[in-house]
A = this chain, B = another copy of it.
Amino acid sequence: MRQTLTNTGRWRSNGLHCHSCAARCDSVWSQLDEPELDRLDQHKSVQRLDPGEVLYGQGDPCKGLFVVQSGSLALRKFDDSGRSVLLRLVVAGQAVGYRCFFDGGRYRAQAEALEATRVCFLKPTLVTKMFEQNPDVVRGMMQRLARELGDAEDRFLMATRRSVRCRLAHALLRLKDHHGEVDDEGVLTVQLPISRQDLADLLGTRPETIARTTRALEKDGVASFHGRRVVIPDLDLLFDELELDGC
């Protein structure tokens, strides 16, 4: 693998050319034409993160825009007392740091690697230029911001009005899209990308409550939990959890 020294002083692996980067298809970058992709590729720098490594910290000034090439990140927000929540999981093809980029302030959350992860970094000048020359990308970013805002507002409704059990069922249903597989017999298996502690932070609860709730779901035959592997025999039972009274 070719190694070059970037102007940031960090060793990087160029990894894939933007043009052939699989992650691109899934993102707002899919609308860029060849010359744009070339420029992006020339000016991007790639960074490798070990599991748990922090890409940027809450309160840091905005560095630029990041795009996950492979692996995944988590956005974590802390309060003054050190309590934290997980805001979002970021998988290949998705950008991070854009909220701060558009806000113009400082990062209001921390980005950390959930596994070995490669991240492309785009300097603010490059991003600004690209936005100026590609209105479609701007539109795509606005749409993303708007969706994120809608999702965040949904989360607030869920967190304040529904039980942990219901929120857990909901989280499993969302996670299955990126982390689920269905076998021959129609049994769904979800491979959780995060620990129980992080799952608690994602739902806004505590690890102990997660343990008790997973146990309760097992007792009722909705799902069985083996470490990070979740087996869901009947998806309908999971959907029922969203409709129940206590939820």
Q: A79-B162, A161-B83 are in contact. Are A102 and B156 (CB under 8 A)?
A: no
User: Which secondary structure characterizes the binding site on chain A?
Assistant: helix
Interface residues of A in 116-157 (CB under 8 A from B): 138, 141-143, 145-150, 152-157
Residue in B102, B108, B146, B205 whose beta carbon sits within 8 Å of that of A153 in the complex: B108
Residue in B84, B99, B143, B243 whose beta carbon sits within 8 Å of that of A146 in the complex: B99
Cα distance A162–B153 in the bound complex, in angstroms: 18
Q: Mark A145-183, 1 if CB is under 8 A from B, else 0.
A: 111111011111111111000000000000000000000
Do B85 and A156 touch (CB < 8 A)?
yes
- A interface, size bucket: 35 or more
- A153 — which chain B residues lie within 8 A by C-beta? 77, 87, 108-109, 152
Nearest Cβ distance between residue A104 and chain B, in whole angstroms? 6
Do B143 and A104 touch (CB < 8 A)?
yes
Do B243 and A145 touch (CB < 8 A)?
no
Residue in B99, B146, B156 whose beta carbon sits within 8 Å of that of A156 in the complex: B156
Q: A142-B141, A143-B103, A149-B145 are in contact. Are A160 and B157 (CB under 8 A)?
A: no
- A79 — which chain B residues lie within 8 A by C-beta? 157-158, 161-162
Cα distance A205–B159 in the bound complex, in angstroms: 11
Do B156 and A204 touch (CB < 8 A)?
yes
Do B161 and A159 touch (CB < 8 A)?
no
Nearest Cβ distance between residue A6 and chain B, in whole angstroms? 28
- A77 — which chain B residues lie within 8 A by C-beta? 153-154, 157
**Can you add 17 more A-B contacts, CB < 8 Å, to A79-B157, A102-B145, A152-B152?**
A77-B153, A77-B154, A79-B158, A79-B162, A80-B242, A80-B243, A83-B157, A83-B161, A85-B161, A99-B149, A103-B147, A103-B150, A109-B153, A138-B138, A138-B142, A152-B153, A155-B156
